[in-house]
Structure 1
Amino acid sequence: MAQRPRQDQQQVTIVTGGSRGIGAATAVRLAREGHHIGIGYERAREAAEATAAAVRAEGGEALPVQLDTSDEAQVDAFFDAVQDTLGPVTGLVANAGITGPLGRFTETSTEVMRRVVDVNVTGTLLCLRRAAQAMSVRHGGTGGAIVSISSGAATLGSPGEYVHYAATKAAVDAMTVGLAKELGPDGVRVNSVQPGAVLTEMHAAMGDPDRAWKKAESIPLRRPGEPEEIAHAVAWLLSAEASFTTGAVLRVSGGI
């Protein structure tokens, strides 16, 4: 029988892409629930430090670490640093991801496509593998939970915007289903969340700062989401309340 994580164990959760947007909101939300947080970020050092300060204000410990999640050595060093500083890892929020510029598929460069695949697919796989090694009872861990941040694009396809990105998020959901089945007997739950249009800086980075509000007309709730609304779903999936939930792909998209 698979072992369930001890309820008295300190929760130590790694959040990649934790400096801004959904990642930052999730880090703070989890800190409110008693988690210590390892914050992975690529470039935004000041934003990562601000997230760390917000985590500490909620009573959690925080360790921001700069890394490229598509680099295996950097992922290993990040996990090692978190475990050495905060304690054994019990959770992962695989949130780091990029889109590249908005545009039609025929006009998307090979360089952009390769980088999006490297971060969104290879980077997520590397983080999930290291988390599984840290948490699996098969490898001496005490169990835990993984939540990957996917996207509604995984099923909508995002024609005319970023089909390559949508494909990588479909891959993330495939990882979720497969690893939930593989790691369930080892005490590790694996789920993903599919956000819709959310008010983050990612839209500006892809070339259209107002994109989230432009999408509002097609959303049944007639508005984009807030990062905190995604964070609530992630926090539930990591919590003991979701102890029988694994392999789920949870849509949090306002109905689209």
Structure 2
Amino acid sequence: MVAGDRGVAIVTGASRGIGAAIALRAAAAGYAVLVNYSSDAAGAASVVQDIRDNGGVALPHRADVSDPAAVGQMFDRAASLGPVTAVINNAGITGNLIGDLVDVPPDTVRRVLDVNVSGVIFVCQEAVRRLGSGTGGPGGSIVNISSTATKAGSPGTWAHYAASKGAVDVLTVGLASEVASQGIRVNCVAPGSTNTGLHAAAGMPDRVQRLNPTIPMGRGAEPDEVAAAVMWLLSAEAGYVTGAVLPVSGGR
């Protein structure tokens, strides 16, 4: 296997939903893609097969992003395809529950922060080591996936999750300033309500539909619409954009 025309893109949490849509678009844009997953091996294999069926290059790779050693191994696997030039931090969890913050078990809080905050930090750290011109890297782009849940804080549903995504927004801005001189752009896409399995996994499969009346455009996003925003931030057209948090939320 050899890298695509644009190098290698690592997409975390890419076995389904927004991550899968990003992986497919990245492959179509000319990247070889490392499809990261934590537990859904079948989903990751399906995404990889879709990419290959369309003439692209992809590998699945299981790694828990909250484990720094596993993150390093993930980048090593991606490097077998060629130079890594794009990293998309999509992996994120809610803890699979909905309710008031006071009722969220401590272990759930810790796990959500481990994946959604520490995991993003660990992946960004390794990306800077590999991509930065100061260490002989090719430069490139990091896109973090946040959420517009940070605006109101998701009271009564996912306040712990919203807090974790607020950290991602702040990290994006700070890191973008640190590494701009190393040829790395760091941006963030903040989806609003999106039609993925995230809500069903937390026990509320109709959540997006119930929120539709609060969205100016009257509907939730499709994963591919979020992926399109990610691809723009990776593109040369966004070459002077760094430190941005781009909402993809239908106006909500």
- Which TM-score band (shorter chain)? over 0.9
Match of 1:59 among 51, 55, 59: 55
User: In the alignment, which residue of structure 1 is the partner of 2:245?
Assistant: 249
| Offset of residue 9 of structure 1 | 5.9
Asked if 1:95 corresponds to 2:90, the answer is: yes
CA contact (8 A) 2:83 2:138 kept: no
Between 159-168 and 56-65, report the one with greater CA deviation. Answer: 56-65
Asked if 1:175 corresponds to 2:171, the answer is: yes
Give secondary structure in 1 for the equivalent of 2:150.
Answer: helix
Asked if 1:26 corresponds to 2:8, the answer is: no
Distance 2:237 2:166 in 1: 26
Q: TM-score, normalised by structure 1?
A: 0.95
Give secondary structure in 2 for the equivalent of 1:102.
Answer: coil
Asked if 1:225 corresponds to 2:225, the answer is: no
| Offset of residue 58 of structure 1 | 3.1
Distance 2:87 2:206 in 1: 30
Distance 2:5 2:48 in 1: 21
Give secondary structure in 2 for the equivalent of 1:236.
Answer: helix
Distance 1:149 1:202 in 2: 14
CA contact (8 A) 2:10 2:87 kept: yes
Runs of 5+ consecutive residues of structure 2 not aligned to the other structure: none
CA contact (8 A) 1:120 1:169 kept: yes
Distance 2:13 2:140 in 1: 20
Match of 1:118 among 114, 118, 125: 114
Distance 1:55 1:71 in 2: 27
Distance 1:23 1:235 in 2: 12
| Offset of residue 36 of structure 1 | 0.5
Distance 1:131 1:154 in 2: 25
| Offset of residue 11 of structure 1 | 2.0
Give secondary structure in 2 for the equivalent of 1:90.
Answer: strand
* Percentage of matched positions with identical amino acids: 48
User: In the alignment, which residue of structure 2 is the partner of 1:155?
Assistant: 151
Q: Which amino acid aligns with 1:33?
A: A
Distance 1:236 1:179 in 2: 20
Distance 2:164 2:229 in 1: 21
Give secondary structure in 2 for the equivalent of 1:189.
Answer: strand
| Offset of residue 124 of structure 1 | 0.5
Distance 2:56 2:178 in 1: 31
Which aligned pairs between 1:163-202 and structure 2 lie closer than 5 A? Answer: 163-202=159-198
Distance 1:57 1:146 in 2: 27
